[in-house]
Structure 1
Amino acid sequence: MSELLEAGYRRCAELTRRHGTTYFWGALLLPREQRRDVHTVYALCRLADDIVDEPEKVDLSVPRDGTPAERLATFRTWFFDALAAGSSDEPVMAAIVDSIRRRGTDPECFGRFFDAMAADLVQDTWPTWDALSNGYMEGSAAVIGEMMLPVLEPYTPEAMEPARALGKAFQLTNFLRDVDEDLDRGRVYLPREDLERFGADPWLRRVTPQWRELMAFEVARNRALYDDARPGLAMLPPASRRCVGTALVLYSRILDRIEAAEYDVFAGRIRVPGREKLGVAVRAVTVGLPA
């Protein structure tokens, strides 16, 4: 492998370790080549997401000039040009393209992903669960499962729908955990129909009885998505099963902690401690995944 690619894969791993700790811990259970490919998928999504959500960040791997919309459009064009050419002079993009081409990931996935990122720049609320789930989350979450699947080497194409469900489950957990951060960006990802049904107002940033009822409803919806995803574990080879199963368990435990905090997602970001992540990963290797 060239020095350029080695540098790119190292940077992708650094991005995953710093920002996607659950993905990072899960990927540790994979063989080296698969682990690197998980990192590249995460890095591509992280860099695009940062252009949208944290435009003040400047990473060597993304365009620096222009508005967030202009930078995202430039990044999108740069990515697809590099993919068509089969390489890039920039290390992170070179690693991303190398991984995608080796895995044979459908390029159409990335078009849906960039469309969803662009939607974040023009839309800050969603009217219904259907609009959120089958609209925005199709390109921001379900498609991530599709991108990851070639890396995980499933036994059967039937693993696709569980992978898509898991992508949505992970993102809904993020939405529930990050309500306060998203408000700071002027966004509310909880469907308006649900807010109106329960009479809950996130902008109060207070835990009211209405807020608890809303969040209990959303947590139940989230757990149903994890249930839809769980059958896919049996469709993966052992190392991939441990990787995905570990991520599923750890993300599910964020919901447990939200409940334990009585749905107060305004007082600070709810996290699963590092020692607990390590414990789940070790258990996955030694005795199997916990329920």
Structure 2
Amino acid sequence: MNALAPIDAVPAAQAARSSFYAGMRVLPKARREAMYAIYAFCRAVDDIADDQGRDRAVRTAELQAWRRDIDALYAGGPPGRAALLTGAVVRFQLDRADFHAIIDGMMMDVDADIRWPDAATLDLYCDRVASAVGRLSVRAFGMDAEPGQMLAHHLGRALQLTNILRDIDEDAAIGRVYLPREALAAAGIIPTTPAQVAAAPGIDPAARLVATEARRHFAAAHAILTTKPRGHLIAPRLMDIAYARLLRRMEETGWAPPRRRPRTNKLWLIATVLRLLVFR
């Protein structure tokens, strides 16, 4: 890693599909390009994990190839597909362990479709697929270590739990249920199949238990952001506001079937970014 690799147009084009592109777009150039690269990496490994058209062995091999390329990047060898991360890794001292954690999280989906994990396993999954992304991101945002790590911990989990609550039907359709078994048991649901859980009359109280946990993490993340720690924080503030709003909308309508998947309005996101720029 003796020279910074140029960031080409591909990561930026991929990031443009993100709901939070507006929040990334206002970052200074080097930080913006780092976030585009991190997003592109996450998108690539997530697409591998979710590709139901290929068998598990093929997806495992592709994820392990990414792991080898990440290791080669940090060892100073030919980084292969991980070359897009070179500039971000060098500039912001991104931790290799966080890239490994993200791949480990994707492997959890590939090894076997996750169905009603216990709470500890779900928390580990959230740490790998969301909070690890946050740990990379807060370095690109220029946050100090302690508040950055804590923000990544809480906001990552809050966002991932909200995603789980939003995507119950989509996940069930591909054989997955991320709602923890403790919440299902408390609601009187004995899980047998993903379709049965998604259609269960008791899914609303089960989902509300997960929503309570998500709100706890949102509150902790919001408390950190309220202290105005050092860093370029429009992107995480946007995520905090938008996803907390999404969670409130779902709590208002409930999770009893049939459900309509809520969507985030991109014009509202842009307006929120403008407000954050004015009142930061």
TM-score by length of structure 2 reads 0.86
Q: Secondary structure of the residue that 2:233 maps to in structure 1?
A: helix
Name stretches of at least 5 consecutive residues in structure 2 with no aligned partner: none
Q: Alignment partner for residue 212 of structure 1, among 204, 227, 232? A: 204
Alpha carbons 2:69, 2:79 under 8 Å: kept: no
**Corresponding position: 1:75 with 2:44:** no
Q: Give the structure 1 partner of residue 115 of structure 2.
A: 125
Q: Separation in 2 of the partners of 1:242 and 1:155?
A: 16
Query: How far apart are residue 161 of structure 1 and its match?
Result: 1.6
Please identify runs of 4+ aligned residues in structure 1 that moved more than 6 A: none
Change (3 A) 1:129 1:269: same
State the one-letter code of the partner of 1:5.
Answer: P
Q: Alignment partner for residue 19 of structure 2, among 17, 21, 41? A: 21
Q: Give the structure 2 partner of residue 115 of structure 1.
A: 104
Q: Separation in 1 of the partners of 2:71 and 2:261?
A: 35
State the one-letter code of the partner of 1:236.
Answer: P
**Bigger shift: residues 175-184 or 70-79:** 70-79
Q: What do the CA deviations read for 1:3-22 (whole angstroms, capped 9, x no partner)?
A: x7242xx211211221x212
State the one-letter code of the partner of 1:253.
Answer: R
Q: Secondary structure of the residue that 2:235 maps to in structure 1?
A: helix
Q: Separation in 2 of the partners of 1:265 and 1:237?
A: 44
**Counterparts of 1:5-20 in structure 2 under 5 Å?**
5-7=6-8, 10-18=9-17, 20=18
Q: What do the CA deviations read for 1:105-161 (whole angstroms, capped 9, x no partner)?
A: 12122222212211111232244212211x222222221121112111114534312
**Corresponding position: 1:252 with 2:252:** no
Change (3 A) 1:277 1:87: farther
State the one-letter code of the partner of 2:111.
Answer: V
The count of residues paired between Structure 1 and Structure 2 equals 271
Provide the identity percentage.
25
Q: Give the structure 2 partner of residue 48 of structure 1.
A: 45
Q: Alignment partner for residue 152 of structure 1, among 105, 123, 141? A: 141
Alpha carbons 1:177, 1:269 under 8 Å: kept: yes
Q: Give the structure 1 partner of residue 162 of structure 2.
A: 173
Change (3 A) 1:203 1:56: closer
Query: How far apart are residue 264 of structure 1 and its match?
Result: 5.1
Change (3 A) 1:95 1:127: closer
Q: Separation in 1 of the partners of 2:155 and 2:77?
A: 30
Q: Give the structure 1 partner of residue 229 of structure 2.
A: 236
Alpha carbons 1:12, 1:43 under 8 Å: kept: yes
Q: Secondary structure of the residue that 1:236 maps to in structure 2?
A: coil
Change (3 A) 1:39 1:55: farther
Q: Separation in 1 of the partners of 2:213 and 2:101?
A: 24
